[in-house]
Chain A
Amino acid sequence: MTTTVVELWAEAPLVRYIAQSSARLVVVMTPAGQVLAQHGFPRAVDLMGVAAIGAAIMASSGALADLVGEASFGALFHAGRRHGIHLAACRTGRGPLVVLTVFGRETSIGLVEFFFDEFAAALRAAAPADQVRGPILAENFEAELGRSLASLFGR
Protein backbone atom coordinates (compact mmCIF):
# COMPACT_ATOMS: atom_id res chain seq x y z
CA MET A 1 0.00 0.00 0.00
CA THR A 2 1.36 3.39 -0.95
CA THR A 3 1.33 6.66 0.90
CA THR A 4 1.60 9.78 -1.22
CA VAL A 5 1.43 13.44 -0.32
CA VAL A 6 0.93 16.71 -2.13
CA GLU A 7 2.44 18.68 0.76
CA LEU A 8 5.52 17.11 2.35
CA TRP A 9 4.85 18.25 5.92
CA ALA A 10 1.86 15.89 6.08
CA GLU A 11 3.87 12.75 5.28
CA ALA A 12 5.52 11.89 8.62
CA PRO A 13 2.35 12.34 10.72
CA LEU A 14 0.35 10.29 8.18
CA VAL A 15 2.85 7.41 8.05
CA ARG A 16 2.86 7.24 11.85
CA TYR A 17 -0.94 7.35 12.05
CA ILE A 18 -1.27 4.48 9.57
CA ALA A 19 1.25 2.37 11.49
CA GLN A 20 -0.45 3.03 14.82
CA SER A 21 -4.09 2.73 13.81
CA SER A 22 -3.70 -0.07 11.20
CA ALA A 23 -6.01 1.94 8.94
CA ARG A 24 -6.51 0.62 5.41
CA LEU A 25 -7.27 3.90 3.63
CA VAL A 26 -6.71 7.48 4.76
CA VAL A 27 -7.40 10.76 2.99
CA VAL A 28 -6.27 14.12 4.36
CA MET A 29 -8.10 16.89 2.54
CA THR A 30 -9.40 20.42 2.79
CA PRO A 31 -13.10 20.97 3.57
CA ALA A 32 -13.50 21.56 -0.19
CA GLY A 33 -12.31 18.02 -0.92
CA GLN A 34 -8.86 18.95 -2.19
CA VAL A 35 -6.53 16.07 -1.28
CA LEU A 36 -3.27 16.85 0.57
CA ALA A 37 -2.21 13.29 1.34
CA GLN A 38 -3.52 9.76 0.96
CA HIS A 39 -2.74 6.20 1.88
CA GLY A 40 -3.96 3.02 0.26
CA PHE A 41 -5.73 4.26 -2.87
CA PRO A 42 -4.49 2.54 -6.01
CA ARG A 43 -6.48 4.68 -8.44
CA ALA A 44 -7.00 8.43 -8.70
CA VAL A 45 -10.67 8.02 -9.57
CA ASP A 46 -11.40 6.18 -6.28
CA LEU A 47 -9.52 8.76 -4.24
CA MET A 48 -11.23 11.76 -5.80
CA GLY A 49 -14.65 10.16 -5.39
CA VAL A 50 -14.07 9.32 -1.73
CA ALA A 51 -12.62 12.78 -1.02
CA ALA A 52 -15.59 14.52 -2.62
CA ILE A 53 -18.10 12.40 -0.69
CA GLY A 54 -16.18 12.81 2.58
CA ALA A 55 -16.06 16.58 2.20
CA ALA A 56 -19.77 16.62 1.37
CA ILE A 57 -20.62 14.59 4.48
CA MET A 58 -18.60 16.97 6.67
CA ALA A 59 -20.33 19.97 5.09
CA SER A 60 -23.78 18.42 5.65
CA SER A 61 -22.89 17.54 9.22
CA GLY A 62 -21.68 21.10 9.81
CA ALA A 63 -24.92 22.51 8.42
CA LEU A 64 -26.94 20.17 10.63
CA ALA A 65 -24.89 21.21 13.67
CA ASP A 66 -25.68 24.82 12.81
CA LEU A 67 -29.40 24.09 12.67
CA VAL A 68 -29.46 22.54 16.13
CA GLY A 69 -27.23 25.24 17.63
CA GLU A 70 -23.99 23.26 17.93
CA ALA A 71 -20.67 24.79 16.89
CA SER A 72 -19.78 21.49 15.23
CA PHE A 73 -20.19 17.78 15.80
CA GLY A 74 -17.21 15.65 16.73
CA ALA A 75 -16.03 12.76 14.63
CA LEU A 76 -18.49 10.75 12.56
CA PHE A 77 -18.27 7.00 12.71
CA HIS A 78 -20.01 4.41 10.58
CA ALA A 79 -19.62 0.71 11.24
CA GLY A 80 -20.06 -1.93 8.59
CA ARG A 81 -19.61 -5.68 8.71
CA ARG A 82 -16.13 -5.62 7.19
CA HIS A 83 -15.16 -1.95 7.25
CA GLY A 84 -15.73 1.11 9.38
CA ILE A 85 -15.16 4.75 8.56
CA HIS A 86 -14.07 7.58 10.80
CA LEU A 87 -14.46 11.12 9.53
CA ALA A 88 -13.23 14.08 11.54
CA ALA A 89 -11.93 17.60 11.13
CA CYS A 90 -8.87 19.21 12.67
CA ARG A 91 -7.65 22.79 12.72
CA THR A 92 -4.09 23.51 11.60
CA GLY A 93 -2.02 26.56 10.77
CA ARG A 94 -2.64 25.66 7.13
CA GLY A 95 -6.39 25.98 7.65
CA PRO A 96 -9.02 23.39 8.61
CA LEU A 97 -8.48 19.85 7.36
CA VAL A 98 -10.73 16.83 7.09
CA VAL A 99 -9.44 13.30 7.61
CA LEU A 100 -11.32 10.25 6.38
CA THR A 101 -10.09 6.90 7.69
CA VAL A 102 -11.32 3.51 6.48
CA PHE A 103 -10.42 0.58 8.70
CA GLY A 104 -11.07 -3.13 8.83
CA ARG A 105 -11.59 -5.80 11.47
CA GLU A 106 -7.87 -5.87 12.34
CA THR A 107 -8.33 -2.67 14.36
CA SER A 108 -11.25 -0.93 16.08
CA ILE A 109 -12.95 2.44 16.21
CA GLY A 110 -11.54 2.89 19.72
CA LEU A 111 -7.97 2.57 18.45
CA VAL A 112 -8.60 4.73 15.38
CA GLU A 113 -10.22 7.44 17.48
CA PHE A 114 -7.44 7.33 20.04
CA PHE A 115 -4.65 7.59 17.47
CA PHE A 116 -6.57 10.19 15.45
CA ASP A 117 -6.14 12.64 18.34
CA GLU A 118 -2.37 12.14 18.15
CA PHE A 119 -2.48 12.47 14.37
CA ALA A 120 -4.42 15.74 14.56
CA ALA A 121 -1.89 17.12 17.07
CA ALA A 122 1.01 16.04 14.81
CA LEU A 123 -0.63 17.72 11.79
CA ARG A 124 -1.10 20.90 13.80
CA ALA A 125 2.55 20.84 14.84
CA ALA A 126 3.85 20.11 11.33
CA ALA A 127 1.64 22.43 9.29
CA PRO A 128 3.29 25.65 8.11
CA ALA A 129 1.37 28.41 9.85
CA ASP A 130 2.13 31.17 7.39
CA GLN A 131 0.54 29.60 4.32
CA VAL A 132 -3.18 29.38 5.00
CA ARG A 133 -4.82 27.81 1.98
CA GLY A 134 -7.28 30.12 0.27
CA PRO A 135 -10.52 29.01 -1.36
CA ILE A 136 -10.19 27.38 -4.76
CA LEU A 137 -11.90 29.42 -7.41
CA ALA A 138 -13.87 27.76 -10.17
CA GLU A 139 -11.44 28.91 -12.84
CA ASN A 140 -8.49 27.30 -11.00
CA PHE A 141 -10.27 24.11 -10.01
CA GLU A 142 -9.21 21.91 -12.91
CA ALA A 143 -5.56 23.02 -12.78
CA GLU A 144 -5.46 22.45 -8.98
CA LEU A 145 -7.02 19.02 -9.38
CA GLY A 146 -4.54 18.11 -12.09
CA ARG A 147 -1.61 19.19 -9.91
CA SER A 148 -2.89 17.16 -6.95
CA LEU A 149 -3.36 14.05 -9.08
CA ALA A 150 0.10 14.44 -10.56
CA SER A 151 1.63 14.68 -7.09
CA LEU A 152 -0.36 11.76 -5.69
CA PHE A 153 -0.25 9.36 -8.60
CA GLY A 154 2.67 10.61 -10.69
CA ARG A 155 0.61 11.47 -13.74
Chain B
Amino acid sequence: MSASLEQALDRISRVRGVRGSMFVAADDGLVVAELLMEGVNGRAVAALAASLARKVGGASGATGGGRVRFVQMDAEGGTLLLAPAPQDLLVVALADPNVNVGLCRLEMIRAAEAASR
Protein backbone atom coordinates (compact mmCIF):
# COMPACT_ATOMS: atom_id res chain seq x y z
CA MET B 1 0.00 0.00 0.00
CA SER B 2 1.45 3.39 -0.92
CA ALA B 3 2.22 5.69 2.00
CA SER B 4 -0.24 8.39 0.94
CA LEU B 5 -3.14 5.93 0.65
CA GLU B 6 -2.21 4.36 3.97
CA GLN B 7 -2.12 7.78 5.61
CA ALA B 8 -5.48 8.71 4.11
CA LEU B 9 -7.10 5.52 5.41
CA ASP B 10 -5.51 6.05 8.80
CA ARG B 11 -7.10 9.49 9.05
CA ILE B 12 -10.56 8.11 8.22
CA SER B 13 -10.16 5.28 10.71
CA ARG B 14 -9.31 7.75 13.46
CA VAL B 15 -12.81 9.23 13.30
CA ARG B 16 -14.71 7.91 16.32
CA GLY B 17 -17.06 5.07 15.36
CA VAL B 18 -15.32 4.11 12.11
CA ARG B 19 -14.72 0.35 11.94
CA GLY B 20 -12.71 0.38 8.78
CA SER B 21 -11.91 2.20 5.58
CA MET B 22 -10.70 1.10 2.20
CA PHE B 23 -9.97 1.99 -1.38
CA VAL B 24 -11.95 -0.23 -3.72
CA ALA B 25 -11.71 -0.68 -7.49
CA ALA B 26 -15.09 0.67 -8.62
CA ASP B 27 -15.39 -1.62 -11.65
CA ASP B 28 -14.19 -4.84 -10.03
CA GLY B 29 -15.32 -4.50 -6.43
CA LEU B 30 -11.89 -5.64 -5.29
CA VAL B 31 -9.94 -4.18 -2.37
CA VAL B 32 -7.03 -1.94 -3.39
CA ALA B 33 -6.02 -0.89 0.13
CA GLU B 34 -7.69 -1.39 3.49
CA LEU B 35 -7.47 -0.58 7.16
CA LEU B 36 -10.06 -2.60 9.03
CA MET B 37 -10.93 -3.57 12.56
CA GLU B 38 -10.76 -7.26 13.31
CA GLY B 39 -13.87 -9.13 12.25
CA VAL B 40 -14.78 -6.84 9.35
CA ASN B 41 -15.02 -8.82 6.10
CA GLY B 42 -13.20 -6.48 3.74
CA ARG B 43 -13.88 -8.51 0.60
CA ALA B 44 -17.61 -8.51 1.25
CA VAL B 45 -17.75 -4.81 2.05
CA ALA B 46 -15.71 -3.96 -1.07
CA ALA B 47 -17.87 -6.09 -3.37
CA LEU B 48 -21.13 -4.76 -1.96
CA ALA B 49 -19.93 -1.15 -1.88
CA ALA B 50 -18.93 -1.25 -5.55
CA SER B 51 -22.27 -2.82 -6.44
CA LEU B 52 -24.12 -0.15 -4.46
CA ALA B 53 -22.10 2.64 -6.09
CA ARG B 54 -22.87 1.30 -9.55
CA LYS B 55 -26.60 1.04 -8.85
CA VAL B 56 -26.84 4.48 -7.22
CA GLY B 57 -24.78 5.96 -10.06
CA GLY B 58 -27.09 4.39 -12.63
CA ALA B 59 -30.19 5.68 -10.83
CA SER B 60 -28.75 9.15 -10.50
CA GLY B 61 -27.80 9.25 -14.16
CA ALA B 62 -31.21 7.99 -15.26
CA THR B 63 -33.03 10.62 -13.23
CA GLY B 64 -30.81 13.48 -14.38
CA GLY B 65 -28.97 13.76 -11.06
CA GLY B 66 -25.55 13.56 -12.69
CA ARG B 67 -22.43 12.17 -11.11
CA VAL B 68 -22.78 10.84 -7.56
CA ARG B 69 -20.48 12.60 -5.09
CA PHE B 70 -21.26 10.81 -1.86
CA VAL B 71 -23.43 7.89 -0.74
CA GLN B 72 -24.60 7.23 2.81
CA MET B 73 -26.41 4.02 3.65
CA ASP B 74 -27.74 3.77 7.20
CA ALA B 75 -28.64 0.33 8.43
CA GLU B 76 -29.56 -1.02 11.85
CA GLY B 77 -26.10 -2.43 12.39
CA GLY B 78 -24.03 0.39 10.96
CA THR B 79 -23.38 2.97 8.30
CA LEU B 80 -21.69 2.51 4.94
CA LEU B 81 -20.22 5.62 3.34
CA LEU B 82 -18.89 5.85 -0.23
CA ALA B 83 -17.12 8.58 -2.13
CA PRO B 84 -15.87 8.22 -5.72
CA ALA B 85 -12.15 8.90 -6.14
CA PRO B 86 -9.97 9.42 -9.22
CA GLN B 87 -8.52 6.46 -11.13
CA ASP B 88 -11.81 4.58 -10.96
CA LEU B 89 -11.55 4.07 -7.21
CA LEU B 90 -14.05 4.36 -4.38
CA VAL B 91 -13.27 5.48 -0.85
CA VAL B 92 -15.37 3.33 1.47
CA ALA B 93 -15.91 3.65 5.21
CA LEU B 94 -17.84 1.31 7.47
CA ALA B 95 -18.93 2.84 10.76
CA ASP B 96 -21.22 2.61 13.75
CA PRO B 97 -24.71 4.08 13.30
CA ASN B 98 -23.87 7.11 15.45
CA VAL B 99 -20.70 8.11 13.58
CA ASN B 100 -20.09 11.78 12.83
CA VAL B 101 -20.84 11.55 9.10
CA GLY B 102 -19.71 15.12 8.37
CA LEU B 103 -16.26 14.55 9.79
CA CYS B 104 -15.99 11.17 8.14
CA ARG B 105 -17.03 12.63 4.78
CA LEU B 106 -14.38 15.35 5.09
CA GLU B 107 -11.67 12.74 5.64
CA MET B 108 -13.01 10.62 2.79
CA ILE B 109 -12.86 13.55 0.39
CA ARG B 110 -9.27 14.16 1.50
CA ALA B 111 -8.57 10.48 0.89
CA ALA B 112 -10.03 10.77 -2.61
CA GLU B 113 -7.66 13.68 -3.28
CA ALA B 114 -4.75 11.60 -1.97
CA ALA B 115 -5.62 8.91 -4.52
CA SER B 116 -5.21 11.41 -7.36
CA ARG B 117 -1.65 12.29 -6.36
Contact = CB atoms under 8 A, between A and B. Distances in A.
Contacts of A114: 29, 43-44, 47-48
B30 A111 contact: no
Contacts of A110: 24-25, 28-30, 43, 46-47, 50-51
A107 interface: yes
A114 B30 CA distance: 10
Contact of A109 (B28, B48, B54): B28
B43 A108 contact: no
Contacts of A107: 51
Contacts of B43: 110, 113-114
Interface residues of A, number: 8
B27 interface: yes
Interface in A101-138: 107-111, 113-114
A109 B30 contact: yes
A113 B43 CA distance: 9
B33 to A, nearest CB: 14
Q: Is the interface of A mostly helix, strand, loop or mixed?
A: helix
Contacts of B46: 110
Contacts of B25: 110
Contacts of A109: 28-30
Nearest to B55: A106
Contacts of B50: 108, 110-111
Interface string B39-65: 000011011101100100000000000
B44 A108 contact: no
Pick the most buried of A108, A109, A111: most chain B CB atoms within 10 A of its CB.
Answer: A108
Contacts of B28: 79, 108-110
Contacts of B54: 108
Nearest to A21: B47
Interface string A72-113: 000000010000000000000000000000000001111101
Nearest to B25: A110
Given A108-B30, A108-B50, A110-B25, 18 more contacts: A79-B28, A107-B51, A108-B27, A108-B29, A108-B47, A109-B28, A109-B29, A110-B28, A110-B30, A110-B43, A110-B51, A111-B29, A111-B51, A113-B30, A113-B47, A114-B43, A114-B44, A114-B48
11 contacts: A108-B27, A108-B29, A109-B28, A109-B29, A110-B25, A110-B47, A110-B51, A111-B50, A111-B51, A113-B30, A113-B47
